[in-house]
Amino acid sequence: MTIEYSEQLEKFSFDSSISPQYIPYIVYGPDSLGDSVSEAEVQKIDQFLEKYEFVSFDENRLESPDFGRCSISGMQGEVVPAVFINKEAVKEEEQRRATQEKISGMSAENRETFEKVFQAHVNQKEFKEHPKLVESFRSKLADVFVDASRRGIQLKASEKEAPAKEINRER
């Protein structure tokens, strides 16, 4: 499920400050890069652009940049305002919506069972320590329920049976 670009801008964009010397590389690509940017800086730009999609920058501020911290390099210096979209947040939201769509297509009984199984697992220590895994697990679990439904299998949550108490009898 793809999120419209306008919604990405509205919900997942953020204001940033970047060095004016990085703008040609970000906007026009590697061929427009001058000698003023080192290979290490190019790697930082590339790593940043893997996570964030460039939207725009304030062209009027190129002539009189502010002094501040560059979001890409982390260094203090001349910066201009720019806008980026958080790609990971967009991807997570798309996954959440797709999963919700799968769940809404389940029968009431399957939804109830799904929620019981899901809650039983996400309350475990591992999910509390790594909360970003919760949505991935939810998506995969929904896939299992949808696949079972297509095959005509009704999944049920079974209550764990308490282990039988052993009675030690001395003879």
For 34-49, the pLDDT digits (tens) are 677 888 899 999 999 9
pLDDT in the model for residue 159: 55
Question: What does the buried/exposed string (b/e) look like for 87-112 if buried means 16 or more CB atoms within 10 Å of the residue's CB?
Answer: eebbeebeeeeebeebbeebeeebee
Kindly list the domain boundaries of the chain, sorted by start residue. Answer: 5-86, 105-150
> How do the pLDDT tens digits run along the chain, 171 residues long?
788 988 998 999 999 999 999 998 998 888 777 677 888 899 999 999 999 999 999 888 888 899 999 999 999 999 999 999 999 999 999 999 999 999 888 888 888 888 999 988 888 888 888 888 888 899 999 999 888 888 888 888 765 544 444 444 444
